[in-house]
């Protein structure tokens, strides 16, 4: 053999043994007695938990016992809370209960944390069919009362908590609110606190007010303090005392 030998031994080891094996003779003239004389031995490798090809710049991750291939970093066995993808170990989906998943597939083996569902626990709990996009976790369909890709609750002012499942716009508002999200308050003097969902204009006004916003006061002498909602004109006038008028205003008239 040449005077300088270089042998690559990939793997995790604690001891290095150097020997000359003559159990099978490569040549007939090999002697049964052999001596191995070492002048100098260099053992090059990474520290425990490190790997690299020609260097040790990388750290083993998610491998059981922090043991990985010294060159590629691949794991023989994955650590708890991780599963195998190719020759690497990656963390279990973050919403797995107990941080536990199936080693070959990554499917959560102990169920999901509260608020999530699906094999990989990526689906929001309010997905109607309990399935969602495996990559994004976005739902195709939400339960009533929720909307959007992650099934967000409908706005608080939506009547019966029902909204468009795509946009979140309310179908109808609770009394006292208007707007797409039912997040604007109806004018204060709308009768029964009800206004148009889109414009916020009052359908009817409380007694004593008129206008689209019911923000104008009826004339003071309107009967029962009621006037036309649009014009403000009184529906009836207050009647003055006829005797008072006859005594103090009317004058006798001489005829002929």
Tell me the two tokens of residue 86.
């190719």
Q: What is the pLDDT of residue 205?
A: 95
Report pLDDT digits (tens) over 105-121. Answer: 888 888 888 878 778 88
Integer-rounded Cα Rg, in Å, for the chain is 43
Please state the rounded mean pLDDT for residues 167-192. Answer: 94
Angstrom distance (rounded) from CA 46 to CA 53 = 10
The mean predicted confidence, pLDDT, of the chain is 83
Q: Is 116 helix (H, G, I), strand (E, B) or coil?
A: strand
- Average pLDDT over every residue of 71-83: 86
DSSP output for 79-111: PTTEEEETTEEEEPPTTBGGG-B-TTT--BSS-
Residue 64 token pair:
């059981």
How much is the pLDDT for 240?
Answer: 47
Query: pLDDT digits over 24-43, tens only?
Result: 777 888 877 777 788 888 88
Query: How does pLDDT run across 215-229, given as a tens digit for each residue?
Result: 999 998 898 899 999
Q: For strand 209-210 and strand 152-153, is the pairing parallel, antiparallel, or unpaired?
A: unpaired
The pTM for the full model equals: 0.49
Q: Please, what is the end-to-end C-alpha distance for the chain in angstroms?
A: 161
Question: What is d(CA 179, CA 195) in angstroms, rounded to the nearest whole number?
Answer: 10
CB atoms within 10 A of CB 129: 11
């Amino acid at each position: 053999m040449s005077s300088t030998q270089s042998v690559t031994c990939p793997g995790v080891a604690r001891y290095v043994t150097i020997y000359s094996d003559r159990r099978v003779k490569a040549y007939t003239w090999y002697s049964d007695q052999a001596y191995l004389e070492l002048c100098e031995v260099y053992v090059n490798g990474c520290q425990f938990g490190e790997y690299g090809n020609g260097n040790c710049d990388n750290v083993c991750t998610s491998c059981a016992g922090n043991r990985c291939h010294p060159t590629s970093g691949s794991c023989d066995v994955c650590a708890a809370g991780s599963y195998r993808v190719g020759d690497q170990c990656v963390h279990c989906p973050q919403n797995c209960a107990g941080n536990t998943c199936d080693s070959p597939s990554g499917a959560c083996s102990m169920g999901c944390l509260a608020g999530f569902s699906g094999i990989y626990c990526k689906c929001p709990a309010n997905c109607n069919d309990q399935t969602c996009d495996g990559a994004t976790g976005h739902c195709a369909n939400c339960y009533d009362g929720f909307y959007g890709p992650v099934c967000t609750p409908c706005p608080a002012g939506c009547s019966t908590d029902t909204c468009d499942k795509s946009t979140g716009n309310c179908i109808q508002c609770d009394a006292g609110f208007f707007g797409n999200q039912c997040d604007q308050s109806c004018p204060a003097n709308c009768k029964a606190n009800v206004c148009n969902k889109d414009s916020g204009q009052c359908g009817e006004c409380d007694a004593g007010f008129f206008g689209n916003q019911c923000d104008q006061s009826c004339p003071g002498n309107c009967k029962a303090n009621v006037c036309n909602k649009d014009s403000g004109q009184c529906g009836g006038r207050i009647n003055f005392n006829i005797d008072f008028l006859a005594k103090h205003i009317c004058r006798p008239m001489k005829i002929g």
